[in-house]
Structure 1
C-alpha cells in the first residue's frame, strides 16, 4: 500500500492460506486446522503498522464508559453455541460455521480485541450510510459488514494494488460505477458516494451469480476469477465447492465476513465495548461554487483541520475545486450559520498562499512542460517583413497567436520589421 496501511483482510489471509489449500473448509479436521492456524498467527509487520494507524486515527479516542463492561474475553465458547448464535442472526446471506470461521471469530474477539472495539465504535458513524445505500438498491443490509474486511473502516485506506476507500474500489471499477477520480477529487474516499457505487456493483454481481457467498467472493477477486473457479469445480456454483479453486487471498474472505458478522452481533457477549468516536453526530452539507481550501475554513471558523478532512476525505489535496463545478462540503451542524455568514472571509483568507499561488504553480508547470516539450521539436525563426502581423505569421506556420506571443515574450500585439520570431513545431 502507498501508505503502508495493511487492510485487515491481508493479515487474515496470512493466517488461512497454508491451512486450507487442498480441501473445502467444511471438511477440515478441527485439530489439524486449529494447530496450523495457531502456528501461523504471528502478526506481520505491515499488519502491526495498520493496527497502530487505526488506533491513532483522529476520530477515535479510548475512553471508559459505564454503559459497557469491557474486559477480558469470556470463557471459551463451544462450537454448538457459535452455531446457534449464527443461526439466530436475521439475514438472507448464508452464515455456515466451520473451524476456519471459528478461528477468525476468535481473532476478532480474543486476539485483536482493541482493534475490534475501535471498529465497533466507528461503525456507529458509517453503518447508517452503508445501510441507506444498500436499502436503496434492495440489497441485504448485512452487506454493510464488507467494509470491515475491505478497509477496517478506515476511510482513506489504500491497498498495494491501488484500491482505495472504505469499499476498496480500483480506479477502473470506481469510474465504471460513476465515481469521479482525479488529482484533486477521489470519490472512492467519499463514504456516501462510494457506498452507493458499491451497492450497484453488488447488485450487478448478484444478477450474475444469484448466490451471496459467490457475490462476496467476486467482490474481492473479481467475476473472472470466480468464473474460473466454477469451471475448475466442474460447474458447481456452491462457494465451498469452488473454495479450493479460488485465489489464495479470496479463500479466507467469506469466512472472515461470517466472523465479522458474528462479532458485530454478539460483541456484548464477548465483553467488547465500542470505542468513543469523536465525530459530529449531526452534520450539514453545502454546495460550494468557488475554489476553497480546507485550511481556510479551519482557520477562520476554528475547526480542527483533521475534523474537516475526516468529514471530507474525497478532497485529496484539501482543495474543493468549486470553480470547476459545484462540490459538496460537509460541516458539523453547529457551524452552518457562521459558515454562511463568513464565506467571503473564508474565501479571502490566505487566498494567494493557499489557492492563487497553487494555480500559478500549476500554470508555471504547464508552461515549463510545454517549453520542454517544444525543445524536443523543431525550432525555426521568422524575420518580420513590412506589413506582416502576428496573426498572419501564426497562420503561415500553423501555430496559435497565443503560443507565438509566449515563445517570444510578446505582451501586446506589436512587432517590428526585422524582428526574429521563434517558431516551435
Structure 2
C-alpha cells in the first residue's frame, strides 16, 4: 500500500456532505485511512494488482469539481453506473484487473453506450476504431461492437492488463489508455521516470492525461462513499443489467423478430444489443451471436421457431454520413459496403481528400 496524502480539505469533504452548512466533527485521519485500506482490500488481493490510493492537491481539485460544481451530472453517472456495476466488476475480476477500474468507464463515458467523442471514440469504454479492432471488436455499417458493454469491458480489461504489464503501474496504464502507449513511452523517456506524479511535475504529459488519473481517483473516492459527499442514492437498485447468454441467429434478422419468437416485448432486446446499429443482425454474416436473457437461447434452436429475415436491409442504412476525425474515404466506403469509385461518383469527388464535418452521400436516395 502506498503512502496516503490526505490534506485537511479532503478530510472535510470525506467527513460529510460537501455542500452541507452543518458543522460536523471531523473523524480522525487514521480512521479515514483505515476505511480506505479496508476498501482497497476488496480489490484483487495480489499486491501488484492494487491501484494505489492517493489524495493530493490535483485529486482534491476534481473531488471539489465532481461533488460541487458538476454535482448533477456526476450523480447521473453514479446512478447509471449502478445498472452495469456488477457485470463490469465481474469481468474486470475475471481478467485480474482491479475492480475499481469500473470508475475509469465512469470518467470515460458516464456509462453511456452511445457516447461518441470528438475523436470518434465510441461506447462505455471509448475505444477508437483501431484499438477496438485490435481487441477483436468488429465494426461495419450495421455493427459496432464497441457499443456492446460486455464485449467492450472484456476488451478494456485485456487492454488495461497489457498496459500494466508494459508500464508496471496502474497510473501509467490509465495514462496510456487515455493518451496511447507511444505518448507515455515518450514521456517516460523524456522525463526519465516511471512515476506518474513525477511526469506530471516535469510537464511531459498531455494536459488531458495529466488530469486523467486525478479524475479517476476523485470518482473512485466519491463512488466509495457517495453519502459522505451528500449524494443520496437509493439503498436498493431497482434495475441491474440482467444475466444474459449468447444466442446464435442468422444474419439480417431484426431484434423484434427474435423478441417475438421468444415471447418478449418489442424493443426489449435492443438495450442488450446496442451494438446492432439498425436493430438487425449484420447481413454480411451467415450467423451472428446476440445477447438474450439467460435461459432463452435454446428456444431459438427449435425448428418450429423460424426467424423471418429483413428482405432489404440496405433500406435501413442512412443516405448520408458526416465525416469524423480519423475517417478516410476508403474506410467510409468499406463501412457502408460501397466501392470507393461509387462513393466518389455519388459525391462528385476527384480525389480521396475529405474533411471533418463533411456530409457524404453513401447510397442513392431512391434505394
Task: Return the TM-score normalized by structure 2.
Answer: 0.68
User: Does the Cα contact within 8 Å between 1:82 and 1:97 map onto a contact in 2?
Assistant: no
What SS is found at the alignment partner of 1:320?
Answer: coil
* Aligned equivalents of 2:299, 2:155: Cα separation in 1: 33
Displacement after TM superposition at 1:239 (Å)? 0.6
Secondary structure at 1:253 match in 2: helix
1:138-159 Cα distance to aligned partner (Å, 9 max, x none): 2222222110111111112111
- Structure 1 residue runs of 5 or longer lacking an equivalent are 1-25, 32-69, 377-425
Taking the TM superposition and a 5 Å limit, the aligned residue runs for 1:382-421 are none
Query: In the alignment, what sits opposite 1:258?
Result: 217
In the alignment, structure 1 residue 89 sits paired with structure 2 residue 51:
no
Indicate conservation of the 8 Å contact 2:141/2:337, yes or no.
no
Paired residues for 1:168-317 under 5 Å: 168-233=126-191, 235-243=192-200, 244-274=203-233, 281-297=242-258, 303-305=265-267, 307-317=268-278
- Asked whether the 8 Å contact 1:83–1:97 carries over to 2, the reply is no
| Alpha-carbon offset, residue 134 of structure 1 | 2.0
Judge which range, 89-98 or 170-179, deviates more.
89-98
Cα contact 2:254–2:280 (8 A) shared by 1? yes
Q: Greater CA radius of gyration, 1 or 2?
A: 1
| Structure 2 SS opposite 1:327 | strand
Per-residue deviation, 1:164: 0.8
| Residues 129, 195 of structure 1: 8 Å contact kept | no
d(CA) in 2 for partners of 1:259 and 1:193?
Answer: 27
TM-score, structure 1 as length reference: 0.60
User: Helix, strand or coil: the match of 1:147?
Assistant: helix
Structure 2 vs 1, CA of residues 75 and 287 (structure 1 numbering), >3 Å: closer, same or farther?
farther
Corresponding position: 1:369 with 2:328: no
Cα contact 1:288–1:322 (8 A) shared by 2: no
Report the more deviating stretch, 146-155 or 264-273.
264-273
Write the mapping of 1:104-115 to structure 2, written as runs, cut at 5 A.
104-115=62-73
Q: What is the aligned partner in structure 2 of residue 21 from structure 1? A: none
Task: Let me know the Cα RMSD of the aligned residues.
Answer: 4.1
Structure number with greater CO (CA < 8 Å, separation at least 6) is 1
Structure 2 unaligned spans of 5+: 10-16, 44-49, 320-334, 350-367
Structure 1 residues 284, 206: CA separation in 2 closer, same or farther (over 3 Å shift)?
closer
